[in-house]
Amino acid sequence: MGRYKHLFFDLDNTLWDFRANARQAFHTIFTDLDLFGQIPDFDRFMEVYEQCNELLWVEYRRGKVKKDALRVERMVMTFLKMGIDDRELATRVGEIYVHTAPKMTNLFVGVTETLADLAKRYKLYLLTNGFFEIQVQKVGNSGLSPYFTKLFMAEMVGFQKPDRRFFEYAIKSVHAHKSESLMIGDDPEADIRGAKQFGIDQVFFNPDGRTCPVTPTYEIRSIPELMKII
């Protein structure tokens, strides 16, 4: 075992494949509600949704958008950009999505095997900004629960990444030292900058080869590459 003893993982877009799961959930919804006639370009819909969702999550982290408003407005905004001014329909789709998406179980390649190996030698934790009731379902439905000692949810802690107080709360809760801790995540701001400013090493999970405005301690393209680092 190397210098690290405590591994903190982000969930969405790091372990749980948000894009694949969202696509599967929306495809199911479109089929059930017969929406392909109104929105035939499903790929474009997904692109627009991802943009709107990310925009509103940034506003949520800044305290400018409330939880319930985020869930509704990201869908209303998406529908408007797709040329459909129907708030009632958009709201309905948003509500169904919140219940459907957590049931999806697509993980990135090698996640289960890697976590199973790591859990034998390290303490593993989840550190996520996602909503409590949704994240718990994702973890349980995807079979990730057995590998993690504790789940830290922003809603329960009262702070969100990249706020150093979230990292501090997690570290102190498990009696870990900064030098023995490692944050693994895909978000340059929330995961990498947040952990770096707090003073713990970071692993930037970057399967798409994006440019990271913050220089991480490590960078990987797949989760199994973690084994080469620790």
pLDDT, tens digit (0-9, with 9 covering 90-100), for 163-196: 999 999 999 999 999 999 999 999 999 999 999 9
Which pLDDT belongs to residue 1? Answer: 47
Measuring CA to CA, how many Å separate 10 from each of 27, 129, 152?
26, 8, 10
Give the chain's domain count.
2
Q: Are residues 176 and 122 in the same domain?
A: yes
DSSP 16: B
Read off the pLDDT band of 206 (50, 70, 90): very high
Q: Is 144 helix (H, G, I), strand (E, B) or coil?
A: coil
Which pLDDT belongs to residue 38? Answer: 95
Which pLDDT belongs to residue 61? Answer: 87
Domain boundaries, position 70:
18-103
- Which of 77, 103, 129 is the C-terminal boundary of a domain? 103
Q: Are residues 140 and 206 in the same domain?
A: yes
Q: Are residues 122 and 211 in the same domain?
A: yes
Segment 51-88, tens digit of pLDDT? 999 999 999 988 899 999 999 999 999 999 999 999 99
Q: Is residue 182 part of a domain?
A: yes
Q: Is 13 left (phi over 0), alpha (psi -120 to 50) or beta?
A: left
Q: Are residues 117 and 210 in the same domain?
A: yes
Q: Are residues 12 and 24 in the same domain?
A: no
Q: Which of 184, 162, 185, 183 is nearest to 171 (CA)?
A: 183
pTM: 0.93
DSSP 156: H
